[in-house]
Amino acid sequence: MSEVGIRDVTNEQSLGSPDATLTAGQMMRNARESAGLHVAALAVSMKIPVKKLEALEADRLDLLHDAVFVRALASSVCRSLKIDPAPVLNKLPVTTTPRLGSYERGINAPFRPAGEAAGVSVAALLSRPPVLIVIALLIAAAVVVFFVASVAAEVVRSASIPLTSSTGLVVFKARAASWVKVVDSKGVVQLSKTLDVGEVAGASGATPLSVVVGRADMTDVEVRGKTFSTEGLVKENVARFEVK
């Protein structure tokens, strides 16, 4: 008898009389390897995911679906390998209790290991009342934080406004951001600054005082404690006059 013939007889004996100590997965793996098939090649020919075949051969039935699915898959593998499915099926559970998995059935169903959560769409999440409540609370918190930050910024800004003198021969009060300059008769600059909204500034010195007011329409002027009108003294919204 040729060497090839001996190997053929040995394979037939191993397939026909499987070792009783082998598991169902080991029996199918041995049959596949004896047929010279890679697990990926068998998966392609059967049109099923490789991971399902690997799980079946590794006896990781918990990674598959229920017992009905496992037996159906094992039967398909046996038919593809042209071996008797009875010894293999005898090693597999015959009932659906306990279930081996809670995922959708079918040989071509997506493979998902146990413990891996199914994906949930964003739209589905947003439709859940608890999620909507959390989002609403986050939005409310953001609004409060923004409001507090705005108030704090205004307080800091107000505190940063310099406290200038509100008395003097000439006094200015800004109703909007403005600027003023006062130079006395000796050429000494008595006041030169930008005024913030609501800021008051005054200046005195040797008369006559030379006064320049920017944004004259938004700056109130008092001279010697009385309201002073810059009307007729303004050009391009800048008033120039002297205080004698």
**Statement: residue 167 has pLDDT above 90:** no
**Are 32 and 42 contacting, i.e. CB atoms less than 8 angstroms apart?**
yes
Residues 46-61 have pLDDT tens digits of 998 999 989 999 999 8
Q: At what angle do helices 67-81 and 24-34 cross, to 10 degrees?
A: 20
pTM for the structure as a whole: 0.35
pLDDT (tens digit per residue) in 88-100:
999 898 875 544 4
In percent, the amount of the chain with pLDDT more than 70 equals 74
- 185 — phi, psi (to 5°)? -70, -15
Which residues does residue 202 pair with via DSSP β-bridges, in sequence order? 171
Q: What is the mean predicted confidence (pLDDT) over 164-182?
A: 89
Q: What is the mean pLDDT of the chain?
A: 80
CATH 3.40.630 describes domain 170-243: no
Q: Residue 57 has what pLDDT? A: 92
Q: What is the pLDDT of residues 188-208, one digit of tens each?
A: 999 999 999 999 999 999 999
What are the CA-CA distances from residue 183 to residues 94, 193, 207, 216, 243 (Å)?
106, 12, 9, 18, 10
Q: What is the CATH number of domain 3-90?
A: 1.10.260.40
124: β partners: none
Reported as a single tens digit per residue, the pLDDT across 8-36 is 433 443 444 556 789 998 999 999 999 99
The pLDDT, as a whole number, for residue 107 is 56
pLDDT reported for residue 133: 87
Q: What pLDDT, in 10s, does the model give residues 114-157?
A: 444 445 567 776 677 887 888 888 998 998 888 888 777 765 55
> Which residue(s) pair with 241 in the sheet?
211
Q: If you ran DSSP here, which 8-state letter would residue 207 be given?
A: S
In this predicted structure, the answer to whether residue 44 has a pLDDT above a threshold of 60 is yes
Question: 237: phi > 0 → left, psi -120 to 50 → alpha, else beta; which?
Answer: left
Q: What is the pLDDT of residue 121?
A: 67
For residue 177, give the H/E element and its range. none
Answer whether 215's CB lies under 8 Å from 176's CB.
yes
Which helix (H) or strand (E) segment is 87 a member of? helix 85-90
Pairing label, strands 238-243, 209-214: antiparallel
User: 103 to each of 33, 109, 189, how far by Cα in Å?
Assistant: 30, 9, 87
Reduce the secondary structure of 108-164 to three states and give it as a string. Answer: CCCCCCCCCCCCCCHHHHHCCHHHHHHHHHHHHHHHHHHHHHHHHHHHHHHHHCCCC
Which has the closest alpha carbon to 197: 216, 180, 176, 166? 176
Reported confidence tier of residue 67, pLDDT bands at 50, 70, 90:
confident
For the chain, the domains span 3-90, 170-243
